[in-house]
Amino acid sequence: MKVFDLNYFIDILPLVLKGLSAAMKMTALSFLGGLILGVLIALIYNSKIKVLYPLAQLYVSIFRGTPVIAQMFFIYFGLPHFITPLRGMGAFAAASMTIALNISSYMSETIRSSISAVEKGQFEAGLSVGMTNFQVARRIILPQAGRIALPSLSNNLIMTLKGTAVAFTIGVTEVMGKAKIEASNSYRYFECYAAAMLVYWLVVVVITLFQGKWEKHLNRAYQN
């Protein structure tokens, strides 16, 4: 038996790629959901609202402090045992939701720190010109904070993608799932998992390329 069968590797690569559609869908949903939640939590942190602030702290602590696979098992296998209405939740929805909750805890830190990094003076300057709070936030603070947040958010996006890799344990057949199913039939584990590695790596390389381009675009005002 060959150590690495290149022909077999090339044959199963498209099969493993089929899992990418589920992985990308979950990543998109989770990232968007996580972003919205992250902004919400960042706002709660900044404004220090009475009851919500400690709750937000607890939330971030739990979701940053536990592995995403444990969270998935808890939400998909644990809770539905006692909370019967949750049994109707599909694995895809459960996985997307869990990854969103998980990544939002990291993103809230990213967003919070990026907003703090913008000079306080910017906000006052905007108000002094006659803008409303909302207009300052949207047109002055956000673009600057966004530029600062981009590398970290890009990191969070990559984390989200990697989080989807454990979704097969609760039944979503994504990249790793396809690889495992294929390997269980052929017993050629090396080629199957090498194909999975290649798929993830290529996606992240593309994300990084876009991140670079976007960073350059955002930094154009700061050149020389």
Partner 1 sequence: MICKIRSSLFTAVIMAFMLMSVGSALAAEVPSETLLVRIGAKEDGQPYIFKENGEVKGFEADLWKEIAKRANLKLEYKYNSISGLFGLLDNGEIDTITHFLGITPQRKKKYDFSDSYGSGALQFMTKKGTPEVTSIEGLYGKKVGVALGSAAAGVIKTFDPDEKIKVVPYEEFRHIPQDVDMGRIYAYFGNPITMMGDIRKMGIDCKIDPLVLLATPVGYPYVRGNENSQRIMDRVNPVLEELRKDGTISKISMEWFGLDITSFSGMK
Residue 56: count of CB within 10 angstroms of its CB: 20
**According to the binding rule CB under 8 A, does residue 85 interact with partner 1?**
no
CA dihedral for 71, 72, 74, 75, sign (positive or negative): positive
C-alpha–C-alpha distance, residues 18 and 174, integer Å: 8
**Residue with smaller CB distance to partner 1, 13 or 89:** 89
**According to the binding rule CB under 8 A, does residue 87 interact with partner 1?**
yes
Structure tokens at 16: 């493993």
- The residue written with tokens 């947040």 in the block is 149
Whether the Cβ atoms of residue 156 and residue 31 lie closer than 8 Å to each other? yes
Near partner 1 in 149-168, by CB under 8 A: 168
CB of 66 to partner 1, least distance (A): 19
CB of 184 to partner 1, least distance (A): 4
**According to the binding rule CB under 8 A, does residue 169 interact with partner 1?**
yes
CB of 18 to partner 1, least distance (A): 14
Q: Judging by beta carbons within 10 Å of its beta carbon (0-12, 13-18, 19+), is residue 144 exposed, middle or buried? A: middle
**According to the binding rule CB under 8 A, does residue 92 interact with partner 1?**
no
**Residue with smaller CB distance to partner 1, 153 or 183:** 183
**Residue 129 carries which DSSP code?**
T
Of 53, 76, 57, 67, the closest CA to residue 102 belongs to 67
CB of 195 to partner 1, least distance (A): 17
C-alpha–C-alpha distance, residues 22 and 4, integer Å: 28
**According to the binding rule CB under 8 A, does residue 21 interact with partner 1?**
no
**Residue with smaller CB distance to partner 1, 91 or 158:** 91
C-alpha–C-alpha distance, residues 211 and 39, integer Å: 20
**Residue with smaller CB distance to partner 1, 153 or 176:** 176
Residue choice 8, 11, 80, 113 for contact with partner 1 (CB under 8 A)? 80
Where are any strands of DSSP class E within 23-138? none
**Residue with smaller CB distance to partner 1, 59 or 168:** 168
Span interacting with partner 1, options 3-11, 62-70, 76-84, 115-123, rule CB under 8 A:
76-84
Q: Exposed e or buried b for every residue in 10-47, given b needs 16+ CB within 10 A?
A: eebbeebbebbebbeebbebbbebbbebbbebbbbbee
Near partner 1 in 171-210, by CB under 8 A: 171, 173, 180-181, 184
The footprint of partner 1 (CB under 8 A) covers 77, 80-81, 87, 168-169, 171, 173, 180-181, 184
